[in-house]
Structure 1
Amino acid sequence: MINGIRVFDTVLDGRNIKDTVSRNAADFWKPFCKSAGWKFSHERVHSLSDLEYFFSKKIKEDIIIFSGHGNENGFYLSNGECFSGEELTKFPNKNHGKIVIFSSCLIGKNKELTEKLKLYFNSQILISYRHLMYDRFCFLNESILLTSMDHFFKKGKSSFTETDFENFQFETEFMKNMNEKYVKLHPMVMT
């Protein structure tokens, strides 16, 4: 059973670098978590030092979502710094074993990067996107995935396996072209 989601949100609008409020995944996840009966917390992160600070604290939620820009090099923060799992000190043991989602474009296209991030977080599962994605389709895919995971855990399963993820991809195959035409592969990947 999912006990909660922690969102680390960074500003997306590169045209207005001084804008520190328009990007807010909390506007979606807070009411969604409330309706699902899950806890929710949200942090704005603008730099690697912000991440390091928040990672040093106990993260009580099972799911960590990073919401912001990404590419094959990593997750980009508001100040332009990139997080790829190498820039910070060791992720604290007290936060190991989470499910980590990068709600960001193209991170899933780089298998070496996703494996490095999974190892850095010592996560059960790391989910990312292999395509360019609009926020609304990230929210749609992630909410369906997390609801599916919650059902598995409520049935007594202790983990969400690669086979379970492949079944999720098969069941949501019809959505792969909602974000972009002529997409051949499901946008989400699991590491």
Structure 2
Amino acid sequence: MINGVRIFDTVLDGKKIKDTISRNSADFWKPFCKSAGWDFSHERVHSLSDLEYFFSKKIKENILIFSGHGNEDGFWLSNGECFNGKNLKDFHSKNHGKVIIFSSCLIGNNESLTQDFKNYFSAQALFSYRHIMHDRFCFLNESILLTSIEHRFNQGKPSFTINDFIDFQSKTDFMKNMNGKHVKLHPMVMT
């Protein structure tokens, strides 16, 4: 059962990415969560120390979404630091077992990185993208994914398995070329 979604949103400065203000996942997720009956909270993060601060506290939501720019090296923060699952203090055990989504480009291309993130969070599951993604298609994929996860729990299934994810991929495969032409693989991966 999904009890809530917490967004960790970051924006890069103009030195790396020209878009410094439009990324605000809360504008999408807040009404979506309200309509689904899930709790919602949102944090702006700009540095590794911001992440450490929020990670040191109890996080009641069981879905964590990291929205910002990414690549095969990790999740980039506003101040230019890159979170890679190895460069922060341990994720507090009171927050283990969550579902993690990196709503960021290319993180899913690096299997070692996604495994480092999954281990860091002691996550139940971790989802990421292997392609460059536009925000609107991230929102589309992730909202369908979370609805699928909740549907499984409502059917009495205790977890969302790799077979469930393969089913999700097959049902959303028709969308893979919405974000870019000639895409051969589903943009989302599960670790």
TM-score range, shorter chain: over 0.9
What letter corresponds to residue 160 of structure 2 in structure 1? F
Kindly state the Cα deviation for residue 31 of structure 1 after the two structures are TM-superposed: 0.3
Deviation digits for residues 75-104 of structure 1 (CA, Å, limit 9, x no counterpart): 000001000011110000000000000000
Kindly state the Cα deviation for residue 64 of structure 1 after the two structures are TM-superposed: 0.1
**Alpha-carbon contact 2:109-2:130 (below 8 Å) kept:** yes
> What's the counterpart of residue 171 of structure 1?
171
> Which stretch of structure 1 is more off in the superposition, 13-22 or 165-174?
13-22
Q: Point out where structure 1 has 5 or more consecutive residues left out of the alignment.
A: none
**Alpha-carbon contact 1:4-1:63 (below 8 Å) kept:** yes
3-state SS of paired residue (1:172)? helix
What letter corresponds to residue 7 of structure 2 in structure 1? V
Kindly state the Cα deviation for residue 21 of structure 1 after the two structures are TM-superposed: 4.8
Kindly state the Cα deviation for residue 185 of structure 1 after the two structures are TM-superposed: 0.2
**Alpha-carbon contact 2:12-2:79 (below 8 Å) kept:** no
What letter corresponds to residue 106 of structure 1 in structure 2? L
**Alpha-carbon contact 1:68-1:77 (below 8 Å) kept:** yes
What letter corresponds to residue 127 of structure 1 in structure 2? F
Kindly state the Cα deviation for residue 23 of structure 1 after the two structures are TM-superposed: 2.1
> Which stretch of structure 1 is more off in the superposition, 7-16 or 126-135?
7-16
> What's the counterpart of residue 30 of structure 1?
30
RMSD: 1.6
**Counterpart Cα distance in 1 of 2:183 and 2:20:** 33
**Alpha-carbon contact 1:47-1:79 (below 8 Å) kept:** yes
> What's the counterpart of residue 103 of structure 1?
103
State the identity %: 75
**Alpha-carbon contact 2:125-2:190 (below 8 Å) kept:** yes
Kindly state the Cα deviation for residue 14 of structure 1 after the two structures are TM-superposed: 3.5
Alignment TM-score, normalising by the size of structure 2: 0.96
Q: Given the alignment of the two structures, is residue 46 of structure 1 paired with residue 43 of structure 2, yes or no?
A: no
> What's the counterpart of residue 127 of structure 1?
127
**Counterpart Cα distance in 2 of 1:18 and 1:171:** 34
Alignment TM-score, normalising by the size of structure 1: 0.96
Q: How does 1:64-75 map to 2 (within 5 A)?
A: 64-75=64-75
Q: Given the alignment of the two structures, is residue 81 of structure 1 paired with residue 68 of structure 2, yes or no?
A: no
What letter corresponds to residue 171 of structure 1 in structure 2? K
> What's the counterpart of residue 139 of structure 1?
139
What letter corresponds to residue 179 of structure 1 in structure 2? N
**Counterpart Cα distance in 2 of 1:119 and 1:27:** 30
